Amino acid sequence: MKNILITGAGSGLGRALALHYALRGCDVCVADKDREAGDQTVELIDQTQGTAFFEECDISSQSSVDALVASLQSRWQSVDVLINNAGVATAGSLDSESIEQWQWAIDINLLGQIRMTQAILPLIRHSNAYHRSIINIASQAGLTPVGHMGSYSVTKAGLITFAEGAHFELAPENIHVSVVCPAFFATNLHRSLRTEQDGMRALVNKMVGESDVTADSIAEQIVTANEAREFMILTHKDGRRAHMLKRLLPNAWYLRIVKKRMAKFSINASK
């Protein structure tokens, strides 16, 4: 039985991943700062005859992460798969996002993932599993950013770079590191969106509302791609197309296409 640690597993994609891994016979640690949400995920897994338990953890707090490590060391002694899923959503124009909002996003979306990886890595190294993995949930916004999502895009771009470096560094130890870059999908992340700009919440809701991709379908793709030892996991057809266009087209052509595409997603149009 594999030991799977998932941060932010109380809802959304984290919950979907927890359910998928539990159905595959894994023992799942549901880590989340929201105890009620985490307990609900464990209850759902219990109903499927899966095995899971909850651990409260705030990835922006080193002491909270250290407490999680101590608990897992006592219970499991090793971790086979770490999924760095916990994160926050931010949005706003360049002149509306405060430095405090930037710092908050960076501390959770980027430093939180790094903090967790550094803390859990000794337990992963202690695992005897043939396939040991670290899966980092970034975003399409880190690959093909657009306007009005500065702090969010920067943290996700940083996470992609971190994952790539870790992929090379840990490969000799047969520890596979991957990064997932989903675009907008039906989840509750937008409900906790932090923004200081009028109209921005409605704009993000509009983008999420246009997606027919579910957390469950993304979780299934992640599990399958990780088993195939893929590095970059692009879960959306449009996202794969945008990434390809950015890589292959002259920069001026790509920028013109994106500007035209994003014109309909103006803040005024969303009100």
pLDDT digits (tens, 9 = 90+) for 208-259: 555 568 999 999 999 999 999 999 999 999 899 999 999 999 999 989 988 9
SS3 call for 162: helix
Q: Find the mean pLDDT for residues 111-135.
A: 97
pLDDT mean across residues, the chain: 91
Q: Which residues are catalytic?
A: 152
Higher-scoring residue by pLDDT: 260, 218: 218
pLDDT digits (tens, 9 = 90+) for 13-39: 999 999 999 999 999 999 999 999 999
What per-residue confidence (pLDDT) applies to 189?
55
pTM over 0.75: yes
How many CA atoms within 13 Å lie on the side-chain side of 150? 15
What CATH architecture is 3-270?
A: 3-Layer(aba) Sandwich (3.40)
Pair type for strands 232-233 and 90-91: unpaired
pLDDT digits (tens, 9 = 90+) for 76-110: 999 999 999 999 999 888 988 999 999 999 999 99
Reported as a pLDDT band with limits 50, 70 and 90, residue 270 is very low
Round to whole Å and give the CA distance between 39 and 223: 23
pLDDT digits (tens, 9 = 90+) for 110-120: 999 999 999 99
Residue-wise DSSP of 90-119: EEB-TTTS-HHHHHHHIIIIIHHHHHHHHH
What per-residue confidence (pLDDT) applies to 260?
87
Round to whole Å and give the CA distance between 128 and 11: 30
Residue 24 CB partners (closer than 8 Å, separation 6+): 223
What per-residue confidence (pLDDT) applies to 204?
59
Of the listed ranges 26-40, 156-170, 191-205, the least confidently predicted one is 191-205
pLDDT of 265 strictly over 70: no
What per-residue confidence (pLDDT) applies to 23?
96
Residue with tokens 């793709």: 221
List the one residue out of 215, 210, 152 whose CA is nearest residue 187: 215
What per-residue confidence (pLDDT) applies to 215?
92
Round to whole Å and give the CA distance between 129 and 79: 9
What per-residue confidence (pLDDT) applies to 271?
44
Instruction: For residue 161, list its beta bridge partners.
Output: none
Round to whole Å and give the CA distance between 260 and 265: 10
What per-residue confidence (pLDDT) applies to 193?
77
What per-residue confidence (pLDDT) applies to 148?
87
Q: Find the mean pLDDT for residues 29-55.
A: 97
Residue 241 CB partners (closer than 8 Å, separation 6+): none
What per-residue confidence (pLDDT) applies to 269?
43
Residue with tokens 């949400």: 37
